[in-house]
Structure 1
Amino acid sequence: MKYFLILLFFLTTLHATKITDVSKIVGVRENQIIGYSLVVGLKKTGDGTTSKFTLQSISNMLKAMNIDMNPIDIKSKNVAAVVVTAVMKPFARQGDQFDVTVSSIGDAKSLEGGTLLMTPLKGVDGKIYALAQGSLSIGGRNQRGAGSESHPTTGVVFNGGLIEREINIDLFHQEYATLSLKESGFKNAVAVQKAINSYYNTQVAVAMDSRSIKLKCPKNRSMIEFLAEVQEIEMNYEPKNKIIINERTGTIVAGVDIPLKPVVLTHGDITIKIVEEKTLSKPQGSMEVDKNLVIGINENEIYTKEGTTTVANLVRSLQKLGATPKDIIAILEAMKSAGSISAELEVM
Structure 2
Amino acid sequence: MFRFRLILAALIASLIAIPASADRIKDLGGFQGIRTNQLTGYGIVVGLAGTGDDNLEYTIQSVKAVASRLGLQLPAGINPGLKNAAVVMITADLPPFAKPGQRIDITVASMGKAKSLRGGALILTPLMGADGQIYAMAQGNLAVGGLGVEGKDGSSVVINVPSTGRIPEGATVERAVATGFETSPALTFNLARSDFTTAQSVAAAINARFGGGAAEAVDGVSIRIKAPTGADTRATIMSEIENLDVVPAEPPARVIVNARTGTVVINSAVRVGPAAVTHGKLTVRIDEKETVVQPLPMSQGQTAKEQKSGVAVDEEKRPMFLLAPGPKLADIVKAVNAIGASPSDLVAILEALKEAGALKAELIIL
Q: How far apart are the structure 2 equivalents of 1:72 and 1:336?
A: 70
Contact 1:257–1:312 (CA under 8 A) maintained in structure 2: no
Contact 2:183–2:229 (CA under 8 A) maintained in structure 1: no
Counterpart of 1:87 (choices 63, 83, 93) is 93
- Length-normalised TM-score, structure 1: 0.75
- Which structure 2 residues correspond to residues 132-171 of structure 1 after superposition, within 5 A? 132-139=138-145, 150-171=160-181
- Name the counterpart of 1:259: 271
What code does the residue aligned with 1:16 have?
A
Q: How far apart are the structure 2 equivalents of 1:96 and 1:320?
A: 60
Aligned-pair distance for 1:19?
1.3
What code does the residue aligned with 1:54 have?
T
Change (3 A) 1:191 1:127: same
Q: How far apart are the structure 2 equivalents of 1:123 and 1:260?
A: 50
- Name the counterpart of 2:154: none
What code does the residue aligned with 1:57 have?
S
SS in 2 for 1:222: helix
| Residues 1:105 and 2:111 aligned together | yes
Aligned-pair distance for 1:205?
0.3
Change (3 A) 1:131 1:193: same
Counterpart of 1:176 (choices 186, 193, 196) is 186
Contact 1:34–1:122 (CA under 8 A) maintained in structure 2: yes
Q: How far apart are the structure 1 equivalents of 2:220 and 2:329?
A: 27
Unaligned runs of 5+ in 2: 1-15, 147-157, 283-315
RMSD: 3.6
- Name the counterpart of 2:240: 229
Q: How far apart are the structure 2 equivalents of 1:301 and 1:329?
A: 19
Q: How far apart are the structure 2 equivalents of 1:201 and 1:315?
A: 46
Q: How far apart are the structure 1 equivalents of 2:123 and 2:142?
A: 11
Counterpart of 1:206 (choices 216, 226, 231) is 216
SS in 1 for 2:40: strand
| Residues 1:129 and 2:129 aligned together | no
| Residues 1:54 and 2:72 aligned together | no
How many percent of aligned residue pairs carry the same amino acid? 36
Q: How far apart are the structure 2 equivalents of 1:103 and 1:268?
A: 51
SS in 1 for 2:203: helix
Q: How far apart are the structure 1 equivalents of 2:164 and 2:331?
A: 41
Aligned-pair distance for 1:52?
2.1
| Residues 1:119 and 2:125 aligned together | yes
Q: How far apart are the structure 2 equivalents of 1:227 and 1:331?
A: 48
| Residues 1:328 and 2:328 aligned together | no
Q: How far apart are the structure 2 equivalents of 1:307 and 1:162?
A: 62
Q: How far apart are the structure 1 equivalents of 2:66 and 2:241?
A: 52
- Length-normalised TM-score, structure 2: 0.71
Aligned-pair distance for 1:81?
1.2
- Name the counterpart of 1:3: none
SS in 2 for 1:238: coil
Deviation per CA, 1:210-240, whole angstroms, max 9, x where unpaired?
1111100269991111111111111221142
Contact 1:130–1:163 (CA under 8 A) maintained in structure 2: yes
Q: How far apart are the structure 1 equivalents of 2:280 and 2:114?
A: 49
Q: How far apart are the structure 2 equivalents of 1:60 and 1:218?
A: 52
Counterpart of 1:248 (choices 252, 257, 260) is 260
Contact 1:16–1:236 (CA under 8 A) maintained in structure 2: yes
Report the count of equivalent residues.
304
Change (3 A) 1:347 1:206: same
Change (3 A) 1:152 1:246: farther
- Name the counterpart of 1:188: 198
Change (3 A) 1:135 1:251: farther
Deviation per CA, 1:85-114, whole angstroms, max 9, x where unpaired?
110111001111111011111121111111
Larger radius of gyration: 2
Q: How far apart are the structure 2 equivalents of 1:325 and 1:100?
A: 41
Q: How far apart are the structure 2 equivalents of 1:305 and 1:332?
A: 13
What code does the residue aligned with 1:115 have?
A
- Name the counterpart of 2:35: 29
What code does the residue aligned with 1:59 have?
K
Contact 1:183–1:211 (CA under 8 A) maintained in structure 2: yes
Aligned-pair distance for 1:74?
2.7
Q: How far apart are the structure 1 equivalents of 2:337 and 2:141?
A: 49
Unaligned runs of 5+ in 1: 1-9, 141-147, 271-297
Contact 2:142–2:166 (CA under 8 A) maintained in structure 1: yes
SS in 2 for 1:223: helix
Range 26-35 or range 16-25, more displaced: 16-25
Aligned-pair distance for 1:201?
3.1
What code does the residue aligned with 2:262 have?
G
SS in 2 for 1:73: coil
Q: How far apart are the structure 2 equivalents of 1:320 and 1:60?
A: 71
Change (3 A) 1:305 1:263: closer
Q: How far apart are the structure 2 equivalents of 1:113 and 1:187?
A: 54
